[in-house]
Amino acid sequence: MSQTLFVGGIAYGTTQKSLSDHFSTAGNVVSANIITDRQTGRSKGFGFVEMSNTDEAQKAVEMFNGQELDGRKLAVNFARPKEDRPRRESRY
């Protein structure tokens, strides 16, 4: 069963492909997604990497948490499940 990791501290110049390639040294990467701002399209500096199983995800946490990628220290840990949040009302 796949396991999703939260990755913080991603450099603005890092691409989803380079993030996926970096994490592939720890195991099979199912997907890599860098979160971007809706209006500007610029990276928000964090993302998610889905590894094919829990063992590979644990290995990735041990290998990459606190290590540098593109000049920034990464914070890597297991992602928490997405919580249902109440819908925000528009201010306009």
8 A C-beta contact, residue 79 and residue 6: yes
Each residue of 59-85: pLDDT tens digit? 999 999 999 999 999 999 999 887 776
Q: Among 3.40.1080.10, 3.40.190.80, 3.30.70.330, 3.90.1150.10, what is the CATH number of 3-78?
A: 3.30.70.330
Please tell me the number of Cα atoms within 13 Å of 74 on its side-chain side.
24
Each residue of 23-45: pLDDT tens digit? 999 999 999 999 999 999 999 99
The whole-angstrom separation of Cα 75 and Cα 81 is 17
33: exposed, middle or buried (Cβ count in 10 Å: 0-12, 13-18, 19+): middle
pTM of the prediction? 0.86
Structural domain boundaries in the chain? 3-78
Q: Is the dihedral of CA 49, 55, 56, 60 positive or negative?
A: positive
